[in-house]
Chain A
Protein backbone atom coordinates (compact mmCIF):
# COMPACT_ATOMS: atom_id res chain seq x y z
CA UNK A 1 0.00 0.00 0.00
CA UNK A 2 2.71 2.43 1.06
CA UNK A 3 4.55 1.55 -2.08
CA UNK A 4 1.66 2.52 -4.33
CA UNK A 5 1.17 5.74 -2.39
CA UNK A 6 4.83 6.50 -3.12
CA UNK A 7 4.39 5.72 -6.83
CA UNK A 8 1.30 7.93 -7.00
CA UNK A 9 3.12 10.80 -5.23
CA UNK A 10 5.98 10.68 -7.72
CA UNK A 11 3.44 10.45 -10.51
CA UNK A 12 1.71 13.63 -9.33
CA UNK A 13 4.97 15.56 -9.27
CA UNK A 14 5.88 14.31 -12.73
CA UNK A 15 2.44 15.21 -14.08
CA UNK A 16 3.21 18.78 -13.03
CA UNK A 17 6.56 18.59 -14.83
CA UNK A 18 4.84 17.26 -17.93
CA UNK A 19 2.26 20.05 -17.80
CA UNK A 20 5.00 22.65 -17.50
CA UNK A 21 6.68 21.36 -20.67
CA UNK A 22 3.25 21.22 -22.33
CA UNK A 23 2.49 24.86 -21.51
CA UNK A 24 5.63 25.91 -23.34
CA UNK A 25 5.19 23.34 -26.10
CA UNK A 26 1.74 24.58 -27.19
CA UNK A 27 3.38 27.82 -28.29
CA UNK A 28 5.70 25.74 -30.47
CA UNK A 29 8.72 25.97 -28.17
CA UNK A 30 10.46 22.88 -26.86
CA UNK A 31 12.10 23.40 -23.48
CA UNK A 32 14.73 21.07 -22.09
CA UNK A 33 15.15 23.32 -19.05
CA UNK A 34 12.03 22.76 -16.94
CA UNK A 35 14.08 20.71 -14.47
CA UNK A 36 15.91 23.97 -13.66
CA UNK A 37 12.65 25.58 -12.49
CA UNK A 38 11.81 22.39 -10.65
CA UNK A 39 15.16 22.61 -8.85
CA UNK A 40 14.58 26.27 -7.95
CA UNK A 41 11.14 25.46 -6.58
CA UNK A 42 12.52 22.56 -4.56
CA UNK A 43 15.43 24.45 -3.04
CA UNK A 44 13.50 27.63 -2.25
CA UNK A 45 10.52 25.83 -0.69
CA UNK A 46 12.88 23.55 1.22
CA UNK A 47 14.79 26.51 2.64
CA UNK A 48 11.48 28.09 3.74
CA UNK A 49 10.26 25.20 5.84
CA UNK A 50 13.53 23.65 6.93
CA UNK A 51 15.61 26.75 7.66
CA UNK A 52 13.12 29.55 8.20
CA UNK A 53 10.43 27.41 9.82
CA UNK A 54 7.53 28.72 7.73
CA UNK A 55 4.27 26.89 7.14
CA UNK A 56 4.03 24.54 4.14
CA UNK A 57 1.64 26.65 2.08
CA UNK A 58 3.71 29.88 1.94
CA UNK A 59 6.76 27.72 1.26
CA UNK A 60 5.10 26.12 -1.75
CA UNK A 61 3.88 29.50 -2.98
CA UNK A 62 7.29 31.08 -2.55
CA UNK A 63 9.08 28.21 -4.29
CA UNK A 64 6.62 28.39 -7.16
CA UNK A 65 6.84 32.17 -7.43
CA UNK A 66 10.62 32.16 -7.39
CA UNK A 67 10.66 29.65 -10.26
CA UNK A 68 8.02 31.63 -12.15
CA UNK A 69 9.93 34.90 -11.78
CA UNK A 70 13.13 33.28 -13.00
CA UNK A 71 11.08 31.90 -15.89
CA UNK A 72 9.93 35.42 -16.68
CA UNK A 73 13.49 36.81 -16.54
CA UNK A 74 15.00 33.96 -18.55
CA UNK A 75 12.12 34.07 -20.98
CA UNK A 76 13.05 37.38 -22.55
CA UNK A 77 16.61 36.66 -23.69
CA UNK A 78 15.94 32.98 -24.36
CA UNK A 79 12.95 33.50 -26.60
CA UNK A 80 14.95 35.48 -29.07
CA UNK A 81 16.01 32.08 -30.35
CA UNK A 82 13.73 29.27 -31.43
CA UNK A 83 13.55 25.65 -32.47
CA UNK A 84 16.80 23.79 -32.09
CA UNK A 85 18.58 26.78 -30.57
CA UNK A 86 15.90 27.14 -27.92
CA UNK A 87 16.31 23.50 -26.97
CA UNK A 88 20.02 24.09 -26.39
CA UNK A 89 19.51 27.40 -24.61
CA UNK A 90 16.93 26.00 -22.21
CA UNK A 91 19.07 22.98 -21.48
CA UNK A 92 21.99 25.33 -20.85
CA UNK A 93 19.80 27.23 -18.39
CA UNK A 94 18.85 23.99 -16.61
CA UNK A 95 22.50 23.03 -16.33
CA UNK A 96 23.51 26.47 -15.01
CA UNK A 97 20.88 26.10 -12.27
CA UNK A 98 22.07 22.59 -11.49
CA UNK A 99 25.72 23.64 -11.30
CA UNK A 100 24.80 26.66 -9.18
CA UNK A 101 23.17 24.34 -6.64
CA UNK A 102 26.28 22.17 -6.79
CA UNK A 103 28.21 25.19 -5.50
CA UNK A 104 25.73 26.86 -3.13
CA UNK A 105 26.21 26.22 0.58
CA UNK A 106 23.69 27.71 3.01
CA UNK A 107 23.39 25.57 6.11
CA UNK A 108 22.24 26.00 9.70
CA UNK A 109 22.06 23.72 12.71
CA UNK A 110 18.37 22.97 13.27
CA UNK A 111 17.46 20.57 16.06
CA UNK A 112 20.96 19.09 16.19
CA UNK A 113 21.10 18.39 12.44
CA UNK A 114 22.94 20.31 9.77
CA UNK A 115 20.18 21.44 7.43
CA UNK A 116 20.24 23.35 4.16
CA UNK A 117 21.67 23.23 0.65
CA UNK A 118 25.17 21.87 1.13
CA UNK A 119 26.84 21.83 -2.27
CA UNK A 120 27.50 18.39 -3.67
CA UNK A 121 26.07 16.80 -0.50
CA UNK A 122 22.64 17.95 -1.54
CA UNK A 123 19.86 19.35 0.60
CA UNK A 124 18.87 16.90 3.35
CA UNK A 125 16.31 16.81 6.16
CA UNK A 126 13.41 18.75 4.65
CA UNK A 127 11.23 16.90 7.12
CA UNK A 128 8.35 19.36 7.52
CA UNK A 129 5.47 17.03 6.69
CA UNK A 130 6.87 14.18 8.77
CA UNK A 131 7.61 16.45 11.76
CA UNK A 132 4.05 17.78 11.65
CA UNK A 133 2.65 14.28 11.59
CA UNK A 134 1.19 14.30 8.09
CA UNK A 135 0.68 10.77 6.80
CA UNK A 136 1.83 9.84 3.30
CA UNK A 137 -1.77 9.58 2.17
CA UNK A 138 -2.56 13.07 3.45
CA UNK A 139 0.41 14.51 1.61
CA UNK A 140 -0.67 12.59 -1.48
CA UNK A 141 -3.95 14.48 -1.25
CA UNK A 142 -1.99 17.77 -1.10
CA UNK A 143 -0.05 16.82 -4.23
CA UNK A 144 -3.16 15.87 -6.18
CA UNK A 145 -5.03 18.96 -5.02
CA UNK A 146 -2.22 20.93 -6.65
CA UNK A 147 -2.34 18.75 -9.78
CA UNK A 148 -6.11 19.23 -10.12
CA UNK A 149 -5.86 22.99 -9.67
CA UNK A 150 -3.07 23.27 -12.24
CA UNK A 151 -4.74 20.93 -14.73
CA UNK A 152 -8.00 22.87 -14.31
CA UNK A 153 -6.21 26.15 -14.99
CA UNK A 154 -4.51 24.72 -18.07
CA UNK A 155 -7.91 23.48 -19.27
CA UNK A 156 -9.42 26.94 -18.78
CA UNK A 157 -6.46 28.48 -20.57
CA UNK A 158 -6.96 26.19 -23.54
CA UNK A 159 -10.61 27.12 -23.86
CA UNK A 160 -9.86 30.83 -23.54
CA UNK A 161 -8.91 33.40 -26.12
CA UNK A 162 -5.39 33.39 -24.71
CA UNK A 163 -5.16 29.65 -25.36
CA UNK A 164 -6.17 30.25 -28.96
CA UNK A 165 -3.33 32.78 -29.17
CA UNK A 166 -0.89 30.18 -27.81
CA UNK A 167 -1.93 27.77 -30.53
CA UNK A 168 -1.80 30.45 -33.19
CA UNK A 169 1.81 31.23 -32.29
CA UNK A 170 2.63 27.55 -32.54
CA UNK A 171 0.93 27.20 -35.90
CA UNK A 172 2.58 30.16 -37.60
CA UNK A 173 4.40 32.91 -35.77
CA UNK A 174 4.37 35.26 -38.70
CA UNK A 175 0.65 34.87 -39.32
CA UNK A 176 -0.06 35.26 -35.61
CA UNK A 177 1.92 38.49 -35.51
CA UNK A 178 0.03 39.75 -38.57
CA UNK A 179 -3.24 38.98 -36.81
CA UNK A 180 -2.19 41.36 -34.07
CA UNK A 181 -0.97 38.85 -31.52
CA UNK A 182 1.99 39.97 -29.46
CA UNK A 183 4.14 36.91 -30.09
CA UNK A 184 6.85 37.79 -27.57
CA UNK A 185 4.28 38.40 -24.82
CA UNK A 186 2.61 35.06 -25.53
CA UNK A 187 5.91 33.20 -25.45
CA UNK A 188 7.11 34.88 -22.26
CA UNK A 189 3.75 34.17 -20.67
CA UNK A 190 4.02 30.50 -21.63
CA UNK A 191 7.55 30.33 -20.29
CA UNK A 192 6.61 32.05 -17.04
CA UNK A 193 3.59 29.84 -16.40
CA UNK A 194 5.70 26.80 -17.25
CA UNK A 195 8.21 28.00 -14.65
CA UNK A 196 5.48 28.38 -12.03
CA UNK A 197 4.15 24.88 -12.62
CA UNK A 198 7.56 23.19 -12.65
CA UNK A 199 8.54 25.14 -9.52
CA UNK A 200 5.41 23.94 -7.76
CA UNK A 201 6.29 20.39 -8.76
CA UNK A 202 9.77 20.75 -7.28
CA UNK A 203 8.44 22.35 -4.09
CA UNK A 204 6.00 19.49 -3.60
CA UNK A 205 8.66 16.93 -4.41
CA UNK A 206 11.26 18.09 -1.90
CA UNK A 207 8.76 17.89 0.96
CA UNK A 208 7.74 14.44 -0.07
CA UNK A 209 11.27 13.03 -0.48
CA UNK A 210 12.88 15.22 2.26
CA UNK A 211 15.93 15.40 0.04
CA UNK A 212 17.08 16.91 -3.23
CA UNK A 213 20.50 17.14 -4.86
CA UNK A 214 21.95 18.39 -8.11
CA UNK A 215 22.09 14.91 -9.63
CA UNK A 216 18.29 14.59 -9.47
CA UNK A 217 17.81 17.55 -11.81
CA UNK A 218 20.24 16.57 -14.55
CA UNK A 219 19.68 15.43 -18.14
CA UNK A 220 17.55 12.32 -17.34
CA UNK A 221 14.90 14.47 -15.65
CA UNK A 222 14.92 16.85 -18.60
CA UNK A 223 14.35 13.97 -21.00
CA UNK A 224 11.66 12.43 -18.82
CA UNK A 225 9.70 15.67 -18.52
CA UNK A 226 9.83 16.28 -22.28
CA UNK A 227 8.80 12.68 -22.94
CA UNK A 228 5.49 13.02 -21.08
CA UNK A 229 3.77 15.51 -23.40
CA UNK A 230 5.57 14.14 -26.46
CA UNK A 231 4.29 10.62 -25.84
CA UNK A 232 0.94 11.54 -24.34
CA UNK A 233 0.16 14.07 -26.99
CA UNK A 234 0.08 17.79 -27.66
CA UNK A 235 -3.61 17.96 -28.52
CA UNK A 236 -4.94 18.45 -25.01
CA UNK A 237 -3.72 18.83 -21.44
CA UNK A 238 -4.73 15.19 -20.97
CA UNK A 239 -1.70 14.34 -23.13
CA UNK A 240 1.05 15.08 -20.59
CA UNK A 241 -1.08 13.69 -17.75
CA UNK A 242 -1.61 10.45 -19.61
CA UNK A 243 2.05 10.32 -20.68
CA UNK A 244 3.37 10.84 -17.15
CA UNK A 245 0.87 8.42 -15.60
CA UNK A 246 1.62 5.74 -18.16
CA UNK A 247 5.40 6.01 -18.01
CA UNK A 248 5.63 6.24 -14.23
CA UNK A 249 3.26 3.34 -13.82
CA UNK A 250 5.16 1.30 -16.39
CA UNK A 251 8.54 1.84 -14.78
CA UNK A 252 7.76 2.29 -11.08
CA UNK A 253 4.76 0.01 -10.91
CA UNK A 254 6.53 -2.88 -12.58
CA UNK A 255 9.59 -3.16 -10.41
CA UNK A 256 11.65 -5.42 -12.69
CA UNK A 257 11.61 -2.71 -15.34
CA UNK A 258 13.23 -0.20 -12.98
CA UNK A 259 16.73 -0.83 -14.28
CA UNK A 260 15.58 -0.31 -17.87
CA UNK A 261 13.57 2.82 -17.12
CA UNK A 262 15.62 5.20 -19.23
CA UNK A 263 16.15 2.66 -22.01
CA UNK A 264 12.36 2.33 -22.26
CA UNK A 265 11.94 6.12 -22.29
CA UNK A 266 14.47 6.43 -25.09
CA UNK A 267 12.91 3.69 -27.21
CA UNK A 268 9.39 5.05 -26.66
CA UNK A 269 10.41 8.55 -27.71
CA UNK A 270 11.89 7.25 -30.96
CA UNK A 271 8.86 5.06 -31.75
CA UNK A 272 6.40 7.84 -30.92
CA UNK A 273 8.21 10.33 -33.13
CA UNK A 274 8.20 7.89 -36.05
CA UNK A 275 4.58 6.74 -35.77
CA UNK A 276 2.77 9.59 -34.01
CA UNK A 277 4.90 12.75 -34.16
CA UNK A 278 2.28 14.73 -32.17
CA UNK A 279 1.84 12.10 -29.47
CA UNK A 280 -1.04 9.74 -28.74
CA UNK A 281 -3.68 12.38 -27.98
CA UNK A 282 -2.98 14.71 -30.89
CA UNK A 283 -5.25 17.31 -32.47
CA UNK A 284 -6.94 14.78 -34.77
CA UNK A 285 -7.90 12.58 -31.83
CA UNK A 286 -9.27 15.56 -29.93
CA UNK A 287 -11.29 16.59 -32.95
CA UNK A 288 -12.80 13.10 -33.27
CA UNK A 289 -13.66 13.03 -29.58
CA UNK A 290 -15.35 16.42 -29.82
CA UNK A 291 -17.37 15.51 -32.91
CA UNK A 292 -18.42 12.20 -31.31
CA UNK A 293 -19.66 14.01 -28.28
CA UNK A 294 -21.44 16.61 -30.34
CA UNK A 295 -23.22 14.03 -32.51
CA UNK A 296 -24.75 12.45 -29.43
CA UNK A 297 -26.05 15.84 -28.45
CA UNK A 298 -24.42 15.58 -25.05
CA UNK A 299 -22.95 18.69 -23.45
CA UNK A 300 -19.23 19.20 -24.00
CA UNK A 301 -17.18 16.82 -21.89
CA UNK A 302 -16.04 17.86 -18.47
CA UNK A 303 -12.58 16.91 -19.62
Chain B
Protein backbone atom coordinates (compact mmCIF):
# COMPACT_ATOMS: atom_id res chain seq x y z
CA UNK B 1 0.00 0.00 0.00
CA UNK B 2 2.70 2.44 1.04
CA UNK B 3 4.67 1.47 -2.03
CA UNK B 4 1.71 2.13 -4.32
CA UNK B 5 1.37 5.54 -2.73
CA UNK B 6 5.06 6.24 -3.31
CA UNK B 7 4.65 5.13 -6.92
CA UNK B 8 1.70 7.44 -7.41
CA UNK B 9 3.65 10.37 -5.97
CA UNK B 10 6.75 9.53 -8.00
CA UNK B 11 4.74 9.34 -11.21
CA UNK B 12 2.93 12.57 -10.35
CA UNK B 13 6.30 14.31 -9.94
CA UNK B 14 7.44 12.97 -13.30
CA UNK B 15 4.09 13.90 -14.83
CA UNK B 16 4.21 17.46 -13.52
CA UNK B 17 7.72 18.00 -14.84
CA UNK B 18 6.92 16.45 -18.19
CA UNK B 19 3.54 18.18 -18.27
CA UNK B 20 5.39 21.50 -18.25
CA UNK B 21 6.38 20.63 -21.79
CA UNK B 22 2.78 19.93 -22.79
CA UNK B 23 1.82 23.22 -21.18
CA UNK B 24 4.40 25.11 -23.24
CA UNK B 25 3.17 23.55 -26.49
CA UNK B 26 -0.38 24.38 -25.45
CA UNK B 27 0.59 27.98 -24.71
CA UNK B 28 2.00 28.26 -28.23
CA UNK B 29 -1.29 27.04 -29.69
CA UNK B 30 -3.35 29.22 -27.42
CA UNK B 31 -1.42 32.45 -28.11
CA UNK B 32 -1.81 31.70 -31.74
CA UNK B 33 -5.52 31.07 -31.42
CA UNK B 34 -6.00 34.21 -29.33
CA UNK B 35 -4.62 36.46 -32.06
CA UNK B 36 -5.55 34.64 -35.27
CA UNK B 37 -8.72 32.80 -34.10
CA UNK B 38 -7.39 29.81 -36.00
CA UNK B 39 -5.56 26.60 -35.28
CA UNK B 40 -2.08 26.15 -36.61
CA UNK B 41 -1.74 22.39 -36.98
CA UNK B 42 1.67 22.98 -38.53
CA UNK B 43 3.00 24.15 -35.14
CA UNK B 44 4.40 20.72 -34.28
CA UNK B 45 6.26 20.42 -37.61
CA UNK B 46 7.54 23.98 -37.21
CA UNK B 47 9.14 23.01 -33.91
CA UNK B 48 10.40 19.74 -35.34
CA UNK B 49 11.96 21.49 -38.33
CA UNK B 50 13.62 23.95 -35.93
CA UNK B 51 15.26 21.27 -33.82
CA UNK B 52 16.35 19.36 -36.92
CA UNK B 53 17.96 22.53 -38.24
CA UNK B 54 19.69 22.77 -34.87
CA UNK B 55 21.38 19.47 -35.65
CA UNK B 56 23.26 20.98 -38.60
CA UNK B 57 25.78 23.06 -36.60
CA UNK B 58 26.07 20.20 -34.12
CA UNK B 59 26.92 17.49 -36.65
CA UNK B 60 28.78 19.61 -39.17
CA UNK B 61 30.92 21.82 -36.94
CA UNK B 62 30.60 20.18 -33.54
CA UNK B 63 29.20 23.50 -32.32
CA UNK B 64 28.62 24.07 -28.60
CA UNK B 65 25.10 23.47 -27.31
CA UNK B 66 24.18 27.15 -26.95
CA UNK B 67 24.75 27.56 -30.71
CA UNK B 68 22.46 24.58 -31.26
CA UNK B 69 19.85 26.20 -29.03
CA UNK B 70 20.02 29.49 -30.94
CA UNK B 71 19.80 27.64 -34.25
CA UNK B 72 16.73 25.75 -33.01
CA UNK B 73 14.96 28.97 -32.11
CA UNK B 74 15.99 30.80 -35.29
CA UNK B 75 15.16 27.79 -37.45
CA UNK B 76 11.69 27.48 -35.94
CA UNK B 77 11.05 31.18 -36.56
CA UNK B 78 12.09 30.88 -40.21
CA UNK B 79 9.89 27.82 -40.74
CA UNK B 80 7.09 29.63 -38.89
CA UNK B 81 7.27 32.46 -41.44
CA UNK B 82 7.07 29.94 -44.28
CA UNK B 83 3.99 28.41 -42.67
CA UNK B 84 2.37 31.82 -42.30
CA UNK B 85 3.09 32.66 -45.91
CA UNK B 86 1.91 29.36 -47.37
CA UNK B 87 -1.01 28.54 -45.10
CA UNK B 88 -2.56 31.82 -43.98
CA UNK B 89 -1.62 34.95 -45.89
CA UNK B 90 -3.23 34.18 -49.25
CA UNK B 91 -6.33 32.36 -48.08
CA UNK B 92 -9.65 33.81 -49.19
CA UNK B 93 -12.04 34.91 -46.52
CA UNK B 94 -15.19 32.99 -45.69
CA UNK B 95 -13.80 29.48 -45.74
CA UNK B 96 -13.60 28.57 -42.09
CA UNK B 97 -12.02 25.17 -42.61
CA UNK B 98 -9.44 26.27 -45.17
CA UNK B 99 -6.68 27.15 -42.65
CA UNK B 100 -7.28 23.81 -40.95
CA UNK B 101 -6.69 22.07 -44.26
CA UNK B 102 -3.66 24.13 -45.32
CA UNK B 103 -1.91 23.54 -42.01
CA UNK B 104 -2.67 19.82 -42.17
CA UNK B 105 -1.14 19.88 -45.64
CA UNK B 106 1.88 21.70 -44.23
CA UNK B 107 2.14 19.20 -41.37
CA UNK B 108 2.40 16.31 -43.82
CA UNK B 109 4.64 18.29 -46.16
CA UNK B 110 7.23 19.24 -43.52
CA UNK B 111 7.17 15.89 -41.76
CA UNK B 112 7.63 13.93 -44.99
CA UNK B 113 10.33 16.27 -46.27
CA UNK B 114 12.32 15.60 -43.10
CA UNK B 115 11.68 11.86 -43.51
CA UNK B 116 13.07 11.97 -47.05
CA UNK B 117 16.06 14.16 -46.16
CA UNK B 118 17.08 12.11 -43.10
CA UNK B 119 15.95 8.72 -44.49
CA UNK B 120 13.84 8.48 -41.31
CA UNK B 121 16.94 7.51 -39.34
CA UNK B 122 16.89 8.69 -35.72
CA UNK B 123 19.50 11.33 -34.86
CA UNK B 124 21.12 11.39 -31.49
CA UNK B 125 20.57 14.57 -29.48
CA UNK B 126 23.14 15.11 -26.74
CA UNK B 127 21.69 15.61 -23.28
CA UNK B 128 23.68 18.31 -21.49
CA UNK B 129 22.20 17.41 -18.12
CA UNK B 130 23.52 13.85 -18.07
CA UNK B 131 21.38 10.92 -17.02
CA UNK B 132 22.14 10.76 -13.29
CA UNK B 133 18.85 11.12 -11.44
CA UNK B 134 18.79 13.33 -8.37
CA UNK B 135 17.64 11.60 -5.20
CA UNK B 136 15.26 13.63 -3.08
CA UNK B 137 14.12 11.57 -0.12
CA UNK B 138 12.58 8.39 -1.54
CA UNK B 139 12.00 9.98 -4.95
CA UNK B 140 14.10 10.16 -8.08
CA UNK B 141 14.14 13.32 -10.18
CA UNK B 142 15.51 13.35 -13.70
CA UNK B 143 17.60 16.51 -14.22
CA UNK B 144 16.40 17.04 -17.79
CA UNK B 145 12.76 16.85 -16.67
CA UNK B 146 13.56 19.33 -13.94
CA UNK B 147 15.12 21.58 -16.58
CA UNK B 148 11.88 21.50 -18.57
CA UNK B 149 9.90 22.48 -15.50
CA UNK B 150 12.27 25.32 -14.56
CA UNK B 151 12.59 26.69 -18.07
CA UNK B 152 8.85 26.34 -18.42
CA UNK B 153 8.41 28.58 -15.38
CA UNK B 154 10.91 31.09 -16.79
CA UNK B 155 9.15 31.14 -20.16
CA UNK B 156 5.77 31.63 -18.53
CA UNK B 157 7.02 34.55 -16.44
CA UNK B 158 8.61 36.16 -19.49
CA UNK B 159 5.41 35.66 -21.47
CA UNK B 160 3.34 37.10 -18.67
CA UNK B 161 5.49 40.23 -18.64
CA UNK B 162 5.35 40.44 -22.42
CA UNK B 163 1.60 40.08 -22.62
CA UNK B 164 0.70 42.23 -19.63
CA UNK B 165 3.39 44.92 -19.58
CA UNK B 166 4.39 45.79 -23.13
CA UNK B 167 2.78 47.61 -26.04
CA UNK B 168 3.05 44.40 -28.06
CA UNK B 169 1.17 42.48 -25.40
CA UNK B 170 -1.49 45.15 -25.18
CA UNK B 171 -2.01 45.02 -28.94
CA UNK B 172 -2.18 41.25 -28.73
CA UNK B 173 -4.83 41.32 -26.03
CA UNK B 174 -6.77 43.94 -27.97
CA UNK B 175 -6.89 41.71 -31.04
CA UNK B 176 -7.87 38.71 -28.96
CA UNK B 177 -10.72 40.77 -27.52
CA UNK B 178 -12.00 42.27 -30.76
CA UNK B 179 -9.93 42.35 -33.95
CA UNK B 180 -12.12 44.90 -35.76
CA UNK B 181 -12.00 47.43 -32.95
CA UNK B 182 -8.28 46.82 -32.43
CA UNK B 183 -7.68 47.64 -36.07
CA UNK B 184 -9.76 50.82 -35.81
CA UNK B 185 -7.58 51.87 -32.90
CA UNK B 186 -4.47 51.59 -35.02
CA UNK B 187 -3.24 48.07 -34.38
CA UNK B 188 -1.97 46.49 -37.58
CA UNK B 189 -3.55 43.06 -37.56
CA UNK B 190 -1.37 41.62 -40.30
CA UNK B 191 1.79 42.84 -38.55
CA UNK B 192 0.57 41.36 -35.26
CA UNK B 193 -0.13 38.07 -37.02
CA UNK B 194 3.45 37.90 -38.21
CA UNK B 195 4.85 38.89 -34.81
CA UNK B 196 2.68 36.25 -33.15
CA UNK B 197 4.03 33.68 -35.56
CA UNK B 198 7.58 34.72 -34.69
CA UNK B 199 6.86 34.64 -30.95
CA UNK B 200 5.12 31.26 -30.89
CA UNK B 201 7.72 29.73 -33.21
CA UNK B 202 10.58 30.98 -31.04
CA UNK B 203 8.85 29.61 -27.94
CA UNK B 204 8.34 26.35 -29.80
CA UNK B 205 11.97 26.16 -30.87
CA UNK B 206 13.18 26.67 -27.30
CA UNK B 207 10.72 24.08 -25.98
CA UNK B 208 11.60 21.66 -28.74
CA UNK B 209 15.28 21.87 -27.90
CA UNK B 210 14.57 20.73 -24.34
CA UNK B 211 12.26 17.96 -25.50
CA UNK B 212 14.76 16.66 -28.03
CA UNK B 213 17.28 16.38 -25.19
CA UNK B 214 14.96 14.37 -22.97
CA UNK B 215 14.15 12.08 -25.90
CA UNK B 216 17.84 11.55 -26.61
CA UNK B 217 17.05 10.79 -30.23
CA UNK B 218 15.15 12.72 -32.85
CA UNK B 219 12.55 11.26 -35.23
CA UNK B 220 10.28 13.05 -37.71
CA UNK B 221 7.21 11.52 -36.07
CA UNK B 222 7.49 13.97 -33.18
CA UNK B 223 5.98 16.62 -35.46
CA UNK B 224 2.47 15.19 -35.49
CA UNK B 225 2.94 13.98 -31.92
CA UNK B 226 3.53 17.55 -30.74
CA UNK B 227 0.62 18.91 -32.75
CA UNK B 228 -1.69 16.30 -31.28
CA UNK B 229 -0.55 16.91 -27.71
CA UNK B 230 -0.94 20.65 -28.23
CA UNK B 231 -4.50 20.21 -29.48
CA UNK B 232 -5.40 17.96 -26.56
CA UNK B 233 -4.02 20.55 -24.14
CA UNK B 234 -5.89 23.52 -25.58
CA UNK B 235 -9.17 21.65 -25.83
CA UNK B 236 -8.89 20.56 -22.20
CA UNK B 237 -7.63 23.94 -21.03
CA UNK B 238 -10.01 26.05 -23.03
CA UNK B 239 -9.19 27.95 -26.22
CA UNK B 240 -7.27 31.16 -25.78
CA UNK B 241 -6.63 30.74 -22.07
CA UNK B 242 -2.98 30.66 -21.00
CA UNK B 243 -3.70 29.54 -17.40
CA UNK B 244 -5.99 26.89 -18.88
CA UNK B 245 -3.19 25.60 -21.10
CA UNK B 246 -0.82 25.42 -18.12
CA UNK B 247 -3.29 23.48 -15.96
CA UNK B 248 -4.29 21.19 -18.81
CA UNK B 249 -0.66 20.49 -19.73
CA UNK B 250 0.24 19.53 -16.18
CA UNK B 251 -2.94 17.45 -15.84
CA UNK B 252 -2.21 15.61 -19.08
CA UNK B 253 1.36 14.93 -17.96
CA UNK B 254 0.23 13.45 -14.65
CA UNK B 255 -2.54 11.34 -16.22
CA UNK B 256 -0.16 9.99 -18.84
CA UNK B 257 2.52 9.02 -16.37
CA UNK B 258 0.05 7.28 -14.07
CA UNK B 259 -1.38 5.40 -17.07
CA UNK B 260 2.11 4.49 -18.23
CA UNK B 261 3.08 3.13 -14.84
CA UNK B 262 -0.10 1.34 -13.86
CA UNK B 263 -1.58 0.25 -17.22
CA UNK B 264 1.36 0.06 -19.60
CA UNK B 265 2.48 1.98 -22.64
CA UNK B 266 -0.36 0.74 -24.87
CA UNK B 267 -2.96 2.52 -22.77
CA UNK B 268 -1.21 5.85 -22.21
CA UNK B 269 -2.36 7.49 -25.44
CA UNK B 270 -5.82 5.92 -25.34
CA UNK B 271 -6.36 7.50 -21.95
CA UNK B 272 -5.18 10.87 -23.25
CA UNK B 273 -7.64 10.70 -26.16
CA UNK B 274 -10.49 9.59 -23.92
CA UNK B 275 -9.77 12.58 -21.72
CA UNK B 276 -9.92 14.77 -24.82
CA UNK B 277 -13.18 13.18 -25.93
CA UNK B 278 -14.74 13.58 -22.51
CA UNK B 279 -13.91 17.27 -22.45
CA UNK B 280 -15.17 17.84 -25.99
CA UNK B 281 -18.48 16.23 -25.22
CA UNK B 282 -19.11 17.25 -21.63
CA UNK B 283 -17.29 20.54 -21.37
CA UNK B 284 -16.42 21.91 -24.81
CA UNK B 285 -15.28 25.22 -23.36
CA UNK B 286 -12.50 23.45 -21.45
CA UNK B 287 -11.25 24.12 -17.94
CA UNK B 288 -10.95 27.88 -18.25
CA UNK B 289 -12.17 28.85 -21.68
CA UNK B 290 -15.12 31.02 -22.49
CA UNK B 291 -18.20 29.11 -23.60
CA UNK B 292 -17.85 28.18 -27.26
CA UNK B 293 -19.97 30.35 -29.51
Contact = CB atoms under 8 A, between A and B. Distances in A.
Co-complex (A, B)? yes
Interface of A: 30, 32, 77-78, 80-81, 83-85, 87-89, 91-93, 95-96, 99-100, 102-103, 119, 219-220, 223, 226, 230, 259-260, 262-263, 265-270, 273-274, 277-278
Given A30-B100, A226-B101, A259-B116, A220 B108 contact: yes
Contacts, number: 122
A98 to B, nearest CB: 9
Interface stretch (B64-72, B84-92, B149-157): B84-92
A226 B103 CA distance: 13
A32 B110 CA distance: 19
B108 A99 contact: no
A89 B280 contact: yes
Given A81-B280, A89-B280, A274 B273 contact: no
Contacts of B38: 84
Interface string B25-44: 00000000000001100000
Interface residues of B, number: 42
B109 A263 contact: yes
Interface of B: 38-39, 86-87, 90-92, 95-98, 100-102, 104-113, 116, 224, 228, 231-232, 235, 266-267, 269-270, 273-274, 276-277, 280-281, 284, 292
A78 B38 CA distance: 20
A103 B263 CA distance: 12
B102 A273 contact: yes
A30 B97 contact: yes
Given A84-B39, A103-B267, A259-B116, A269 B273 contact: no
9 nearest CB pairs, A to B: A266-B109, A269-B105, A266-B108, A262-B112, A277-B95, A77-B281, A266-B105, A270-B105, A99-B270
A274 B91 contact: yes
A88 B276 contact: yes
